[in-house]
Amino acid sequence: MSAKKTKSAKTVVVKQKATKKPNALHDKLVKLFSRPNGATVHDTMEAGFKYPAMVALRIVERKGYKVSVKKVPGELTVYTARKA
pLDDT band at 73 (very low <50, low <70, confident <90, very high): very high
Q: What is the dihedral of CA 80, 58, 54, 38, to 10 degrees?
A: 10
Q: Render pLDDT for 11-21 as a digit per residue (tens, 0 to 9).
A: 877 877 777 78
Strand extents, DSSP E, the chain: 65-70, 78-83
Residue 78 phi, psi dihedral angles, 5° rounding: -110, 130
Instruction: Supply the pTM of this predicted model.
Output: 0.70
Q: Render pLDDT for 17-72 as a digit per residue (tens, 0 to 9).
A: 777 788 999 999 999 999 999 999 999 999 999 999 899 999 999 999 999 999 99
Annotated domain spans of the chain: 24-83
Q: What is the pLDDT of residue 1?
A: 61
Q: What is the pLDDT of residue 20?
A: 77
